[in-house]
Amino acid sequence: MCAHEIAEFILKGFKKHYLLFQKITAQAPLAFAHKDWSKMHEISRLRISYYDDRVNETTQQLKDEYLTTQLDESLWLATKQHYQQFLLFHPQAELAETFYNSVFCRLSHRRYFNNNFIFVKATLADAPALPIEAEYRSYFPVIDGLKPTIRKIIEQFDFKASFNDLERDIRLLVKAFYKQAPDTHHSAWQMRFDILQTPFYRNKAAYIVGRVVSQSGVQPFIIAVLHHEDKGLYLDALLTKSSQMRVIFGFARAYFMVETHAPSALVRFLNQLMPNKTLAELYNAIGFHKQGKTEFYREFLTHLERSNDDFIIAPGTPGMVMMVFTQPSFGYVFKIIKDKFGESKPFGRDTVLKRYQLVKSHDRVGRMADTIEYSNVVFPLARFNATLLTQLKATIGSSMVIEGDLLIIKHLYIERRMTPLNLFLESANEEDARTAIIEYGQALKEMIAVNIFPGDMLLKNFGVSNHKRIIFYDYDEVQYLTDMNFRALPKPKTYDDYLTNEQSYSVAPQDVFPEQLCTFVMPNPCYKAIFTQVHPELLDVEFWQQAQKNVKNGLVSHIYPYPSSQRFIHSW
């Protein structure tokens, strides 16, 4: 095969991937219309593996056609040039670049992982950008009036299900707009609405995303659309605060399902609404997590060039499974599986890999941090002091290689850095500590509602986000809730057992005793008192058993990604 043919072949593989990805994404609106929540979850889960399936398929076909283990440098230099030309006016150019990188990296040694052979840098950064108008539609209240225009916006989405009382919901929506965004108090002829053309689907909700443009500036908003159990669709909430919008698009939630022809235009529109979000975060949020990896790595390389601080061990209690380091000026941690685990961890590396993948493909309900998984990550060796290098060699020696002035980690996970909850509580004031303990219990409830048992529930395994939300981030003991055996503590058999509190009873590997939660997790009596007052059901075995029954009976919980105070009050 010549360079031109190889370039065409890889682009053909990308086209197949994108069409299949959009095809399964397009099933979400119908699943939402039919309230088929298990189908929604299946679509979300399947999309996670679609990319790797197509990359592996394209790579294998290339190997079959191009039977040599020796990489022809001149051929691949020319292949990249041809491929780059194909992308000049491609609507998914940035995704196609990443697909090319993935195929090439599966065929070649890491010494070729540079900008000569792959797209380390975005080659189309200076090319004409796709107009964001390709992804949104504008509406002008001056023509039909405010409420008729809002009705037109909602009806154009064609949710294939009837609203219970759309006129009522529109009145609630307008009232909420006036209350939340006083700068939008303009007459109908003094504004326009820019609305993304397709809804964002996730779990049991659809979201309309747009902005109001007026003489006062731009006001972003999100409208949540839900199903009543038996009375049709309704508008549930309006969100106009940037902080709330960022939480909805946050790193601890499942990816949205949204159809798009021009992802870069969609991401730029979202970035205008949420300027604090990075490109990596936004690509992740709309389901293009491989593109998110590419953008994140570019952001990391840029940060390395602009910073000079060394890597350090991440603050917090050292784990028995993961070695974790960070860079103080960079808001992420790097997690590597240790060569040997602590004695209390009766499992191996393969189990850890599977559990991190479980979380990746599951509904994270805003309580479990997303992870970015990389292989053969190159770090500048000079940024690691002798002490840290010694610790790395002692704990993850089999996962690292030093080549000249480079440190190469064979496999790692990257997560958003948060303050470990146990450290947060050490310096928190009384009000913040109470809020954190309440949030911790709420996080447990929301995880078990979607069939996740965190396993190790110690406070050190939970972090405090910038929005003061409690997020779980240590997944080596994660299991499905339905796989656990929740038991009540046996009663003392003898008077001596009662006096010594050392009664003996058999415990199987999956056994859990909820009554012991505070004993092991919250030795601090003040925190224990708060927890037992606000979340007493978490200490009751029947609560956990009922949660298991709910999951087994197909009851799909909806965890609202916004405060209850934002919800409209409906009279059914």
Say if CB 454 and CB 447 are below 8 A apart: yes
DSSP 355: H
58 assigned ligand-binding residue: no
Helices (H), 414-476: 421-427, 430-449
318 assigned ligand-binding residue: yes
315 assigned ligand-binding residue: yes
Give the per-residue SS3 of 184-202: HCCCHHHEEEEEECCCEEE
Give the per-residue SS3 of 285-310: HCCCHHHHHHHHHHHHHHHHHHCCCC
User: What values do phi and psi take at 194, rounded to 5?
Assistant: -110, 115
335 assigned ligand-binding residue: yes
Say if CB 99 and CB 14 are below 8 A apart: yes
**Which tokens go with 31?**
């699943």
Helices (H), 450-540: 495-500, 517-521, 525-534
Looking at 169, 194, 363, 370, which residue is catalytic? Answer: 370
* Distance, CA of 551 to chain centre: 22
DSSP 542: H
317 assigned ligand-binding residue: yes
Query: Does an H or E element contain 21, and which?
Result: helix 3-25
**Which tokens go with 485?**
């055996």
314 assigned ligand-binding residue: yes
339 is catalytic: no
| Helices 37-65 & 3-25 angle (0-180, nearest 10) | 170
Q: How many CA atoms lie within 13 A of 93 on its CB side?
A: 22
Instruction: Report the relative pairing of strands 511-512 and 485-486 from DSSP bridges.
Output: parallel
Cβ contacts of 429 within 8 Å, gap of 6 or more: none
Please choose, from the candidates 266, 398, 280, the residue with its C-alpha nearest in 3D space to the C-alpha of residue 332. Answer: 280
Residue 210 identity (one-letter amino acid): G
Annotated binding site for ATP: 314-320, 335
Annotated catalytic sites, by residue? 370
Annotated binding site: 314-320, 335
